[in-house]
Amino acid sequence: MSKISYKDAGVDIDAGNEFVENIKSIVKSTFNQNVIGGIGSFAGAYELPSGYKRPVMLGATDGVGTKLKLAIDAKRYDTVGIDLVAMCVNDLICNFGEPLFFLDYYATSKLDLDASVEIVKGIAQGCQLSECALLGGETAEMPGMYANNDFDLAGFAVGIAEYEEMNRLAHVKESDILVALPSSGIHSNGYSLVRKLFFDKLNWSFEDNVGEKTLIDTLLTPTKIYVKTFKKLKPYINALAHITGGGIVENLPRVLPNNLQAVVYKEKIETLPIFDLMAEYIEEKEMFRTFNMGVGMVLVVSKDYIEYVLENSDGYIIGELKSGDKRVTML
C-alpha cells in the first residue's frame, strides 16, 4: 500500500501558509499603537489603554448565520467579514464599552485562497470601521465536516469600559425618548426565513430587483457598524439596544428597568423596501419578532439632549418611555 499525505486527506498545508502570507498586510492595516508584536505568534498581545479609573474588560461573540449560505451560492465573499465584526462590536457598545481588538475563526471544507482573502479583507474593513485591531484568527481546513464550498465564520470582540458607566439601568428614566438609528438592511438575522420566502416559496433569482437593487445585492448588504456614532454620542445617551434576532420587541426591554415600558409608534419607523416586500407574505407580528424592520440600534435619550443627538446622527424619534411593566408596546 502506498503512503498517503495530509494533502491526500484534503488538507493543504502549503495553501494555508500562502493564505497567511497573503493576508499579513491586510491584518496589519488594522493595527494601532496598542498592538504588541506582529503576526505569527501563538497569541496576540494588546496593551491596555490608560486613563481608566476602574477598567472592565468586555467580550462579545457571534457569527453571521445562514446569510453565509447566500454568499456561498452567489460566490460573493467581500461583505460577510463586515457582518461578522458588526454583530460582535454592536453588542459590545450596548454595555458602554469601546472595542479594542477582534479575533476570527474561519472553518471551511477546502481552502479557496481567493475567497479566503476576500473574507479577511471584509473582516479587516469591519475592524477599521470599528476602530479596533484584528489581533489574530484561526483558519481550519476540515474536509468531511463541511460539504463542497461551505464555510463558517465566528468572531470575538474584546473591549473596555469604565466600571461606573456600565450600569445603564440607573440612567434610564420615564419620559426618555427612543431614537432609531437606521439599519443598512436585514443585517444578519432571520436569513433562514428570508431564504425560505424568496427561494422556496417565491422562486426568485438573485438578479430579480428590489427597488433599484438586485435581490442578492440587497440581501448581502453588510450590517451597519455603530461604533463611531456611539463614541460621538456616548455622553448624551442613557442606554442603547442592538436590534438583532427578536427585533425591537425582544431587544429593547433588555435596557429597561422593571418599572418602565417602551412605547414605539410603528408609523414612525422608516422601513426599507425589502421589509415592505416581505410583509406582503409574512404576518406583521412575525416580522417584528424576526427582523430589525429598518432599525439597527435604538438609543434611549433624555429630553435635554435629544436635539443634539438628532443633529449629530442619522437618527429619528420612534417612541418614548412610560411608566409600566418592562415591555415594548407597539402602537
Calpha distance 228→99 (Å, rounded)? 10
Distance (Å, whole) CA 251 – CA 327: 10
Answer for the pair 135, 40: CB distance below 8 angstroms, yes or no: no
165 sits in which H/E element: helix 163-166
Phi and psi based region of residue 193 (left: phi greater than 0; alpha: psi -120 to 50; beta: remaining): alpha
* Sheet strands side by side (includes 239-242): 239-242, 295-301, 177-182, 316-323, 260-264, 328-330
Compute the distance between CA of residue 108 and CA of residue 10 in angstroms, rounded to an integer: 11
**Beta-carbon count within 10 A of 196 CB:** 13
Local confidence pLDDT in tens for the 331 residues of the chain: 777 666 655 666 666 677 777 777 888 888 899 999 777 778 888 999 999 999 999 999 999 999 999 999 999 999 999 999 999 999 999 999 999 999 999 999 888 889 999 999 999 999 999 999 999 898 888 888 888 889 999 999 999 999 999 999 999 999 999 999 999 999 999 999 999 999 999 999 999 999 889 999 999 999 999 999 999 999 999 999 999 999 999 999 999 999 999 999 999 999 999 999 999 999 999 999 999 999 999 999 999 999 999 999 999 999 999 999 999 999 9
Burial of 69 (0-12, 13-18, 19+ CB in 10 A): middle
Instruction: Name beta bridge partners: 128.
Output: none
Contact in structure between 120 and 26 (CB atoms under 8 Å) = yes
Spell out the domains of the chain, with CATH numbers in brackets.
Answer: 13-166 (3.30.1330.10), 169-330 (3.90.650.10)
Query: In whole angstroms, what is the distance from residue 311 CA to residue 2 CA?
Result: 72
Contact criterion met (CB below 8 Å) for 221 and 273: no
The closest alpha carbon to 304, from 175, 167, 165, belongs to 175
